[in-house]
């Protein structure tokens, strides 16, 4: 019995989503139809690929090997399916994900540079969290994603684009009190001082976890997690509700809508996140990778330069 691409796509979906029901929803078929195709696939292999337990599904030893090969095969099929589109002389149509804590600030400069690039690339942008974007790149729903590195998956290539440093954000009065703690304020002081509280994004946001790591938070009472966006955080701290850490890429954009927002740089080494481009290994060497990377890196560098100049000129950031 031959193995079909449909079976491999369904198998990938089950492994990715950890349940037959969620996988069936993702590939837009009924659960019985998906289960039938998986049984057919296992019959073709002559052995079980998946086992079910109370926690969901689990790959067998053969299943792990089959899943690795499935990802390689479907990547190569994607290259074949899009080969004509990528070499017909017209603009290249790509689907690119950008992590939601960066997209609103990076997108303008990113698109401007793409439009000026010698190789025309037109993109459809999808926002999401880093785990969502990684899953979509693996499943070929995205050609690439711009997010925080490292991702650390063998199936994906990573390319660093720019360093996005964190600055302390708050009202002018609260930052003045924070500076009084010493000549070289550190991120950990933001969580442990009485000037706070430290506010950050809700559970599930990588940026929130990065802030907690940078501030060496060890006690839950030192931080308040609940905001769903950087915009909400900016409004809260501009209204003197506490302090937060904001990436340079977002600093000027958020101050435009929250005039009471001020910034303070930390003593070196400053905390930062590394922003990079990830794509499937099968896309390595494609010309569009360089086009996307150069445009995003240029846009990120411009954001950082503008933020550093503005913060240096700000009375709270001298």
Strand partners, 168: 245, 264
Residues 236-253 have a mean pLDDT of 90
Domain 5-84, second-level architecture: Orthogonal Bundle (1.10)
pLDDT exceeds 60 at position 318: no
What's the CATH fold of domain 166-271+307-313? D-Maltodextrin-Binding Protein; domain 2 (3.40.190)
- Domain 90-163+274-303 superfamily per CATH: Periplasmic binding protein-like II (3.40.190.10)
The pTM of this model reads 0.72
Instruction: Give pLDDT tens digits for 133-190.
Output: 999 998 888 999 999 999 988 889 999 999 999 988 889 888 888 777 766 677 777 6
Backbone angles phi, psi at 124, to 5 degrees: -105, 120
pLDDT at 316 > cutoff 50 = no
Chain region(s) in the chain for CATH 3.40.190.10: 90-163+274-303, 166-271+307-313
Determine the Cα–Cα distance for residues 219 and 203; give it in Å rounded to an integer: 15
Q: Which residue has the higher pLDDT, 75 or 203?
A: 75
The 10s digit of each residue's pLDDT in 35-58 is: 999 999 999 999 999 998 777 788
What stretch(es) of the chain map to CATH 1.10.10.10?
Answer: 5-84
Print the SS3 string covering 135-186: HHHHCCCCCEEEEEECCCCCCEEEEEEEEEEEEEEECHHHHHHHHCCCCCCC
Residue 222 banded pLDDT, cuts 50, 70, 90: low
Q: Which residue spans within the chain are E strands per DSSP?
A: 50-53, 56-59, 92-99, 121-128, 144-149, 156-170, 198-201, 223-227, 244-247, 262-264, 272-280
């Amino acid at each position: 019995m031959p193995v079909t691409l449909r079976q491999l796509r369904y198998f990938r979906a089950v492994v990715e989503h950890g349940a037959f029901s969620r996988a069936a929803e993702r590939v837009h078929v009924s659960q019985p139809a998906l289960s039938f195709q998986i049984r057919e696939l296992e019959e073709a292999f002559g052995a079980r690929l998946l086992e079910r337990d109370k926690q969901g599904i689990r790959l067998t030893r053969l299943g792990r090997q089959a899943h690795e090969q499935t990802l390689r095969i479907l990547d190569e099929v994607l290259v074949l399916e899009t080969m004509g589109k990528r070499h017909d002389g017209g603009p290249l149509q790509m689907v690119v994900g950008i992590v939601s804590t960066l997209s609103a600030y990076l997108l303008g400069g990113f698109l401007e540079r793409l439009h000026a690039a010698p190789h025309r690339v037109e993109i459809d942008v999808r926002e999401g969290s880093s785990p969502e974007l990684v899953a979509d790149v693996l499943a070929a729903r995205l050609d690439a994603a711009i997010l925080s590195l490292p991702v650390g998956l063998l199936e994906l290539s990573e390319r660093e684009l720019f360093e996005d440093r964190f600055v302390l954000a708050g009202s002018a009065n609260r930052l003045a009190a924070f500076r009084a703690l010493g000549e070289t304020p550190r991120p950990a002081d933001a969580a442990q001082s009485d000037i706070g509280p430290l506010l950050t994004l809700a559970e599930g946001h990588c940026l929130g976890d990065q802030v907690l790591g940078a501030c060496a938070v060890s006690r839950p009472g030192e931080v308040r997690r609940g905001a769903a966006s950087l915009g909400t955080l900016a409004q809260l701290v501009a209204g003197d509700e506490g302090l937060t850490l904001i990436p340079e890429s977002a600093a000027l954009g958020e101050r435009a809508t929250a005039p009471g927002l001020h910034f303070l740089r930390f003593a070196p080494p400053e905390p930062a996140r590394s922003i990079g481009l990830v794509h499937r290994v099968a896309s390595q060497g494609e010309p569009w990778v360089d086009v996307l990377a150069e445009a995003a890196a240029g846009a990120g560098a411009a954001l950082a330069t503008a933020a550093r100049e503005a913060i240096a000129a700000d009375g709270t950031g001298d």
